[in-house]
């Protein structure tokens, strides 16, 4: 039993990196049951019905026991080498992952894990409450912090004016979660035992048919990331057909081979991605965001007090150098400090790019100190106050949506309070991370039935645990005096993957199918928050409308079904931007 407890804490590092791992999430259970027979000692089912998640009580008991065991072990040992050997043995013996993954993931995470546990001032209760986002009880006062406000009273809420049809518009492409895999091999095994497949060394999964699940030339649903040619196809299409004014790129460049990542490998991929962007969309300014997969190990974003070999400076400095092609150096000073920055697209529109990894519950460095690392939220408040004073509108960008259960609840609460205060100033929210085509509605803190903003959560280019390579294009109220800069309509562009894979040659140009107007497709009066809230209520009672939304949400993934519990879970997610409000089936 002690072996299982010890292995648990380290091995959740594999699962934490996958978008399907939002605790008790609808998408997690749906995709796992449809495409993968789970590799755990409890034997999760492989069927077309969502399985019930493990209870919070058992999860918290296991977590607290694990923390206590590791603490005791480390206090009596001069190093963690013996514990690493135990973890490797347990990982392999219990078949939590394949031998290759066990041998890679544990050494990669061990030093961070041991350092965090030994330096964390928190009790096992608070540690587990942070990791599982309050499932293990309320945070104690030490961990339940509040960011100071500007002190300026909130002005009256201004109704959003309706732009005239002839008003100028901006076209903004939103790309997220590209996850290009440079080990992707067409014809390789796409149904393997590892967390990521479609590599030359991907082993056949027990019980699967040889040759039945081979990797396609342009991509493969669910179990694989994408080859570079698929990203290039998207960029060529964007350059020739979409012709955007800007590209919002909301993070996650690196593939899901989390047991093999290195700093050197990530740096190569950052530079290669810039080369591809400059080659295929040379005249479009890209506004980037840092994702959770950019760290090494995945989700590792040390707080400022962590220096030396664990310091995150290498990452911020390297990405700042890469992104300086698009963002002026004076704007990147805060990025070199904490991975966030602002940039003015015009004299009346500012983009704020946030580092959402400081809300990431799987960023274990937050267990040492989670209180607004690098003062990012304080900086955000100052930026928004400045924009309010000057009459500048703001687009807020980030990777992890603030309502995701892997966004720390205390961070999410502070963030929601800030954006609620500055709702007159913020014209749009843009996120990625989930891989699905979705949105989430912000509700007023005082009048909890009043929607005041919409978070646009874009679908991924990668096919990993989702459907077709997909991106969005926003029609935005354009640059002119008194522009609202609100999103007026959305186009959704998806690669026809099945057709593309019938043409296994780089000479072929895949077809990208487009839904030209989400407003028309969903029968919305507008894209204002209240219209989205009414839409959620409509699909709650209209089965046909929900089926249509579900197909869009899953990026046209074939043969996916859902239960009534799934439906309730998803509807809840659409109405949640505060992660302290968990969605339960």
**CA distances (Å), 402 to each of 354, 383, 412, 574, in order?**
11, 19, 5, 12
Residue 78: predicted pLDDT: 54
Binding positions for Zn(2+): 177, 179, 252, 292, 399, 433, 435
Residue 137: predicted pLDDT: 77
pLDDT tens per residue across span 238-269: 999 999 999 999 999 999 999 999 999 999 99
Residue 113: predicted pLDDT: 85
Query: Per-residue DSSP letters for 246-305?
Result: EEEE-S--S-S-TTS--HHHHHHHHHHHHHHHHHHSTTSEEEE---GGGSSSTT----TT
Residue 80: predicted pLDDT: 66
Q: What percent of the chain has pLDDT over 70?
A: 88
**Per-residue DSSP letter, 479:** S
d(CA 35, CA 29): 10
pLDDT tens per residue across span 39-88: 332 333 333 333 334 456 777 887 888 778 777 777 776 566 777 887 88
Secondary structure E strands in 176-243: none
d(CA 541, CA 537): 7
Q: How confident is the model at residue 276 (pLDDT cuts 50, 70, 90)?
A: very high
| In the chain, where the domains are located | 1-585
In the predicted model, what is the mean pLDDT of residues 542-546?
97
Exposed e or buried b for every residue in 8-18, given b needs 16+ CB within 10 A? bbbbbbbbbbb
CA triple 331-180-440, angle to 5 deg: 65
> Which range (19-23, 360-364, 425-429, 538-542) has the least confidence?
19-23
**Per-residue DSSP letter, 360:** B
Residue 502: predicted pLDDT: 97
* Exposed / middle / buried, residue 227 (Cβ in 10 Å: 0-12, 13-18, 19+): buried
d(CA 221, CA 462): 9
- Is the per-residue pLDDT at 32 higher than 90? no
In the predicted model, what is the mean pLDDT of residues 347-362?
97
Q: Are 514 and 506 in contact (CB under 8 A)?
A: no
In the predicted model, what is the mean pLDDT of residues 348-352?
99
Residue 30: predicted pLDDT: 42
CA triple 146-370-293, angle to 5 deg: 125
- Is the peptide bond preceding residue 297 cis, with omega within 30 degrees of 0? yes
Residue 68: predicted pLDDT: 80
Torsion region of 179: left, alpha or beta (phi above 0 gives left; psi -120 to 50 gives alpha): left
pLDDT tens per residue across span 149-194: 889 999 999 998 899 989 999 999 999 999 999 999 999 999 999 9
**CA distances (Å), 94 to each of 7, 43, 407, in order?**
9, 11, 30
pLDDT tens per residue across span 396-416: 999 999 999 899 999 999 999
Query: Strands of 349-353's sheet, edge to edge?
Result: 341-346, 349-353, 393-397, 426-431, 451-457, 438-443
pLDDT tens per residue across span 288-340: 999 999 999 999 999 999 999 999 999 999 999 999 999 999 999 999 999 99
Dihedral sign from CA coordinates of 193, 197, 200, 206: positive
In the predicted model, what is the mean pLDDT of residues 98-113?
89
pLDDT tens per residue across span 470-528: 999 999 999 999 999 999 999 999 999 999 999 999 999 999 999 999 999 999 999 99
Query: Per-residue DSSP letters for 159-173?
Result: PPPPPPTTS-EEEEE
d(CA 450, CA 562): 29
d(CA 30, CA 222): 12
- Is the per-residue pLDDT at 275 higher than 70? yes
* Helix (DSSP H) and strand (DSSP E) numbers for the chain: 17, 12
pLDDT tens per residue across span 439-454: 999 999 999 999 999 9
Residue 584: predicted pLDDT: 61
Phi and psi at residue 37, to the nearest 5°: -80, 120
The CATH classification number of 1-585 equals 3.60.21.10
Residue 87: predicted pLDDT: 80
Dihedral sign from CA coordinates of 45, 48, 52, 53: positive
- Is the per-residue pLDDT at 33 higher than 60? no
Binding positions: 177, 179, 252, 292, 399, 433, 435
CA triple 559-214-472, angle to 5 deg: 55
> Which range (131-135, 428-432, 567-571) has the least confidence?
131-135
Identify which has the larger pLDDT, 169 or 121. Answer: 169
Residue 130: predicted pLDDT: 81
Pairing state between β 349-353 and 426-431:
unpaired
Tokens representing residue 99 in the block: 């031998």
Question: What's the distance, Cα to Cα, between the start and end of the chain in Å?
Answer: 30
Question: Dihedral angle at the C-alpha atoms of 54, 57, 60, 62, nearest 10 degrees?
Answer: -70
Average pLDDT, the chain: 88
Pairing state between β 426-431 and 451-457:
parallel
Is the entire prediction scored with pTM above 0.85? yes
Q: Are 384 and 422 in contact (CB under 8 A)?
A: yes
Q: Are 286 and 270 in contact (CB under 8 A)?
A: no
Q: Are 490 and 578 in contact (CB under 8 A)?
A: no
Exposed e or buried b for every residue in 108-140, given b needs 16+ CB within 10 A? bbbebbbbbbeebebebbbbbbbbbbbbbeebe
> Which range (19-23, 88-92, 106-110, 441-445) has the least confidence?
19-23
């Amino acid at each position: 039993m002690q072996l299982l407890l010890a292995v648990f804490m380290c091995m959740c590092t594999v699962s934490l990196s996958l978008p399907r791992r939002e605790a008790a999430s609808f998408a997690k259970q749906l995709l796992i049951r449809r495409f993968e027979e789970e590799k755990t000692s409890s034997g999760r089912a492989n069927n077309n019905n969502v399985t019930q998640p493990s209870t919070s009580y058992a999860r918290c008991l296991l977590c607290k026991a694990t923390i206590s065991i590791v603490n005791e072990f480390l206090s009596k040992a001069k190093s963690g080498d013996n514990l690493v050997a135990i973890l490797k043995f347990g990982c392999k013996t219990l078949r939590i992952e394949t031998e290759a993954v066990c041998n890679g993931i544990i050494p990669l995470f061990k030093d961070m894990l041991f350092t965090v546990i030994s330096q964390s001032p928190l009790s096992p209760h608070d540690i587990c409450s942070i990791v599982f986002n309050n499932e293990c009880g309320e945070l104690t006062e030490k961990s339940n912090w509040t960011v100071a406000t500007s002190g300026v009273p909130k002005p009256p809420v201004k109704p959003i004016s309706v732009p005239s049809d002839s008003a100028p518009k901006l076209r903004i492409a939103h790309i997220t979660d590209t996850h290009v895999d440079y080990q992707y091999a067409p014809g390789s095994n796409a149904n393997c035992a590892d967390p990521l497949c479609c590599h030359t060394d991907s082993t056949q999964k027990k019980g699967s048919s040889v040759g039945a699940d081979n990797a396609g030339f342009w991509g493969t649903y669910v179990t694989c990331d994408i080859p570079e040619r698929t990203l290039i196809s998207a960029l060529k299409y964007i350059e020739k057909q979409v012709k955007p004014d800007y590209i919002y790129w909301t993070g996650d460049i690196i593939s899901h081979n989390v047991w093999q990542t290195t700093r050197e490998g990530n740096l190569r991929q950052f530079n290669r991605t810039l080369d591809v962007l400059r080659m295929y969309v040379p005249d479009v300014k890209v506004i980037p965001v840092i994702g959770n997969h950019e760290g090494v190990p995945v989700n590792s974003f040390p707080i400022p007090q962590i220096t030396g070999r664990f310091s995150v400076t290498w990452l911020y400095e390297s990405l700042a150098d890469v992104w300086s092609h698009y963002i002026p150096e004076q704007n990147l000073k805060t990025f070199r400090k904490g991975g966030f920055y602002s940039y003015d697209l015009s004299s009346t529109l500012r983009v704020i790019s946030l580092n959402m990894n400081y809300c990431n519950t799987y960023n274990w460095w937050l267990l040492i100190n989670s209180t607004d690392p690098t003062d990012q939220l304080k900086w955000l408040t100052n930026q928004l106050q400045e924009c309010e004073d000057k009459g500048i509108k703001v687009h807020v960008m980030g990777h992890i949506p603030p309502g995701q259960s892997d966004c720390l609840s205390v961070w999410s609460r502070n963030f929601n309070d800030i954006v609620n205060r500055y709702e007159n100033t913020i014209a749009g929210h843009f996120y990625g991370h989930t891989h699905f085509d979705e949105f989430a509605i912000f509700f007023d803190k005082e009048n909890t039935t009043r929607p005041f903003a919409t978070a646009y959560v874009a679908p991924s280019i990668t096919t990993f645990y989702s459907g077709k390579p997909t991106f969005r294009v926003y029609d935005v109220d354009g640059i002119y005096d008194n522009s609202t800069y609100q999103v007026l309509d959305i186009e959704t562009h998806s690669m026809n993957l099945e057709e593309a894979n019938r043409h296994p040659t780089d000479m072929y140009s895949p077809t990208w199918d487009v839904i030209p107007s989400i407003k028309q497709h969903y029968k919305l009066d507008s894209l204002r928050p209240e219209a989205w809230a009414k839409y959620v209520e409509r699909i709650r009672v209209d089965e046909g409308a929900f089926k249509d939304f579900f197909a869009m949400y899953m990026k046209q993934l074939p043969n996916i079904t859902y239960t009534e519990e799934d439906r309730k879970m998803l509807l809840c997610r659409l109405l949640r931007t505060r992660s302290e409000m968990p969605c339960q089936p």
